[in-house]
Chain A
């Protein structure tokens, strides 16, 4: 257990539905990252927050995806109008420093299946 928690751990939804995932980072960590991992691939960067500010988004993050970190603590990732291609493991990670090279602590992930 790294201290980063994610909920739910699994989510099965029908195409077209909206889903929301939550990440609770290690409490003193100011950076929070979201990644997506599909089967047999490494994680892909989606977006990151420095405290409550969303500073960078990947081009992979379509308009259907939105992320928030309202008080600089927990974060949510919402996917609207889900598509089958959204099926993946969504990983959250947090870090204490101000550099992307700093060690990140990963949560267990939320596995999304879109039927």
Chain B
């Protein structure tokens, strides 16, 4: 079946602009996660959704970052007033059973964000 998809694959923007990154999880997966990865580092957690609600947003770095998942499927990560330090690969993952011990997460291809 289809995996996690993310659009756009690349986004170049200017400092101060607003961007939206989209994630479409694996069909039937109730849990959705956003991470971001900088060069040479592992992914860092941003926010986790269970259904429509943000169950844990403790990883969001500041209030310029916001994410929604209005119908419990597709999610959008929104970044206001982008800064050069926001440049990274933004990864989305989904899992079928977040409350189980497994919680295996499957990643999408990522969106590479470059803030000039």
B and A form one assembly: no
- Give the B-binding residues of A (Cβ under 8 A): none
